[in-house]
Amino acid sequence: MISPRLPAAALAVTFALAACTGKSSTGGPSPASPAGASPGSSSGSSSGSPAPSGLTPEAYQVTLDGAGKPVAAALGAIAKARTLRSIGQRIDRAKNAVDDAVGQLGGVQPPADIGPEHADYLAALRAMNGELDTLHVAVDGRSLCTSGAVLARLGKSGEFADLKEAGADLAGGGDYRGGLIGLKPPKERDRRPGNGTVLLSAVRGGRGSLTVKNGGSRDGVVSLVKGKKKAVSLYVRKKSTAKVPNIRDGSYRVYFTTGVDYDRAAHAFNRSCRFSRFDDALRYRTTYTATQVRWNNWTITLNKISGGNASTSDVNPDDFPS
């Protein structure tokens, strides 16, 4: 509890009374005065506490290793995430590693010759904490959709550059290598396969065809899924139409994703991704008579149109067929 403050006048009176206690009412020495002390004087002595000494270089090395190396490892581990959920989890782990490092190093007095570099590294860690929060929000909002996209955006940030530079300064200033960040993030790109590119053709050989119209503002990938396996995937650029022929008979669920910068290795858009599916399946069937052969050709539109007769639903990204 905070005690109420005395007004200035009351404080002045208190000090005046304390100064008068050095003498008794008769003018003689006060019995409370120690031997050799002048009446009214203070017998105590005070001295400043000694300035704390910094850690030895060996001790600082151990402390920095314990704080900085987990940060570098956690940032690098983001690359191993394969789903949006796991990306968020790994960003959280990196953030926890940064928080732990700030806690371990915040109260440390480093060796005198490395003091400025230590302060810069600590400041860079605190700034990195905020950048990781920003990345997590971007993943939740699906403006960043893969681990590669997260690392590319991290690599563009001033916070990452500052942390990497601060770690290098510690290593160069005193061979303290625990703060080094070896991660080399990829560059942001804008890859777009050609319109109508067949990305996957696992079940072909039929007579049917699928025509896809994409009038939206993002490129898209349409996939036909038979059972639990993706059978056909077609890339359709924005404001374009594409067709895939030779689809084998069967019932197919239609999934589609849209976004920016398609990574063929990850089978996903890196940025601004959305995931959907058509509620009704497409059925392909070939029938033969004595005089003719009949089969199904389907046309779908990815964007909403007036008079459209096919409904779609959003899909959890982690449930989307890879």
Q: Supply φ then ψ for residue 164, to 5 degrees.
A: -65, -40
> Six-digit token pair at 13?
């009176």
Alpha-helical segments (H) within 107-224: 115-140, 147-156, 158-174
Q: What share of the chain is helix, strand, coil (3-state, %, to 5)?
A: 40, 25, 35
State the pLDDT at residue 53.
Answer: 56
Q: What is the DSSP code (8-state) at residue 136?
A: H
Give pLDDT tens digits for 108-151: 999 999 999 999 999 999 999 999 999 999 999 999 999 999 99
User: Rounded CA gap, 101 and 69, in Å?
Assistant: 9
Calculate mean pLDDT across residues 178-199.
97
Protein fold of 198-319: Immunoglobulin-like (2.60.40)
Is residue 23's pLDDT more than 70? no
What residues does each domain of the chain span?
Answer: 57-179, 198-319
State the pLDDT at residue 149.
Answer: 97
Mean pLDDT lowest among 111-115, 151-155, 256-260: 111-115
Calculate mean pLDDT across residues 83-93.
96
Spatial neighbors of 22 by CB under 8 A, at least 6 apart, are 30, 33, 38, 39, 40, 41
Q: What is the DSSP code (8-state) at residue 181?
A: -
pTM of structure: 0.79
Mean pLDDT lowest among 132-136, 275-279, 310-314: 310-314
Contacts 24+ apart (CB under 8 A), 129-134: 129/95, 129/98, 129/99, 129/102, 130/159, 131/157, 131/159, 131/160, 132/91, 132/94, 132/95, 132/98, 133/95
Is residue 3's pLDDT more than 50? no
Cα separations in angstroms, 60 against 36, 73, 169, 235:
49, 20, 15, 55
Give pLDDT tens digits for 195-241: 999 999 987 789 999 999 999 999 999 999 998 889 999 999 999 99
> Six-digit token pair at 96?
């926890």
The continuous run of DSSP H or E covering 10 comes out as: helix 8-20
